[in-house]
Amino acid sequence: MQLDLILKTAVDKGASDVHLSPDIAPIIRFNTRLEKLDAAAFSQRAMEQMALYVLGPENYKIFAGRGEIDTSYHIDGVGNFRVNIYRHRSMIAIAARIIKTEIPTLEY
C-alpha cells in the first residue's frame, strides 16, 4: 500500500506528522515546517481505499457514520502511528502522527 511507503519516508526523514488530502501531494511536517513530498496526489477513491485499509470494514462503518475516527496503525520495522481520518468538505483526509520508538532522556 502506498500509505505505508509514505509513512516510511516520513519516518526516514525525521518528520513528526503526515497529512494526506485528495488532489494534493502528500505533506510531511517537521514540527512547524511543512514539506510536500515528490509524490503524486491521491484521488478521493484512493483516500477511501486507504481509510478502509487502515480501519478495516467494521471501523470504516463507524467512520462513515461519524465523519471522523482516531485509531492507531503499525508498520513492522517502521513504527507506530496515531491516525485521524476525517471528512473535510465531504472528502476524506488523513493525518498521522509518528510515535517515536526511542524515549528521549531528560539529560542535556
What are the structural domain ranges in the chain? 2-99
pLDDT of residue 27: 97
If you compute the radius of gyration of the chain from its CA atoms, what whole number of angstroms results? 14
pLDDT of residue 105: 77
Task: Please state whether the predicted TM-score (pTM) of the whole model is above 0.85.
Answer: yes
49-102 confidence digits (pLDDT tens)? 999 999 999 999 999 999 999 999 999 999 999 999 999 989 999 999 999 877
Residue in the structure block whose three cell numbers are 510515535: 99
**pLDDT higher than threshold 80 for residue 1:** no
CATH architecture of 2-99: 2-Layer Sandwich (3.30)
